[in-house]
Amino acid sequence: MPAIHDRKFVSADPNKCVGCCVCEYACSVEKEKTYNPTKSRIRAVRLNPLANLAITCRLCEDPPCVTACPRDALTQSEETGIIMVDEEACNGCGWCIEACDYGAVMLHPESKVVFVCDLCQEKGKPQCIEWCPEEALELVTSDVLAQKARRSAVRKLFQESMATR
């Protein structure tokens, strides 16, 4: 079983994401056979006029969404970390949606059953990554994401120190 630090999830680079929502359409076509972003397992979010970000499941080590489910409809694969939904057990109560720190669990607009990114297991590679025209999406581990955040913070500190000279 891969350690939590080896689990890869889809991450967006806010410096590259333009908010085009192609990821949402690619996901909805792959999973639901329709061009409908409300049926997508990834969400493009506009943070401000110039900053966009795509949100999807982070494969948490102790996923609060799984813990919050009163019907045990959500489980996490020990092998991949992917959150699996038992559609028969889910009644759409939304506790898992409230529990997710990333906003990655959504309620299907028609079936009223929750759904979450499964990294397009059947395809072998997430279709959102394949179709992103800006190459803003990639599979990363939490360690790689943390390292990128540290580099970005150091760059900002350096720029600030140079500006005060």
Confidence of residue 6 (pLDDT cuts 50, 70, 90): confident
The pLDDT of residue 57 is above 80: yes
Comparing C-alpha atoms, which of 66, 143, 141, 125 is closest to residue 97? 66
pTM over 0.95: no
Residue 42 lies in a domain: yes
Tokens 């997710």 sit on residue: 100
Per the domain annotation, does 133 fall within a domain?
A: yes
Question: Is residue 105 a part of any domain in this protein?
Answer: no
Q: Is residue 148 part of a domain?
A: yes
pLDDT category at 1 given cuts 50, 70, 90 is: very low
Instruction: Give domain status of residue 76, yes or no.
Output: no
Give how many domains the chain has, as a whole number.
1
Supply the range of the domain harboring residue 49.
6-56+117-163
Q: Residue 65: which residues within 8 A CB-CB, separation 6 or more?
A: 74, 83, 96, 97, 99, 100, 105, 116
In a domain, 84, yes or no: no
Reported as a single tens digit per residue, the pLDDT across 67-98 is 999 999 999 999 999 999 999 999 999 999 99
Tell me whether residue 40 is in a domain: yes
- With contact defined as beta carbons under 8 Å apart, do 103 and 117 qualify? no
Position 41 scores a pLDDT of 97
**Structural domain contains residue 37:** yes
- CATH code for position 149: 3.30.70.20
Q: Are strands 43-48 and 74-76 parallel, antiparallel or unpaired?
A: unpaired
pLDDT at residue 40, as a whole number: 97
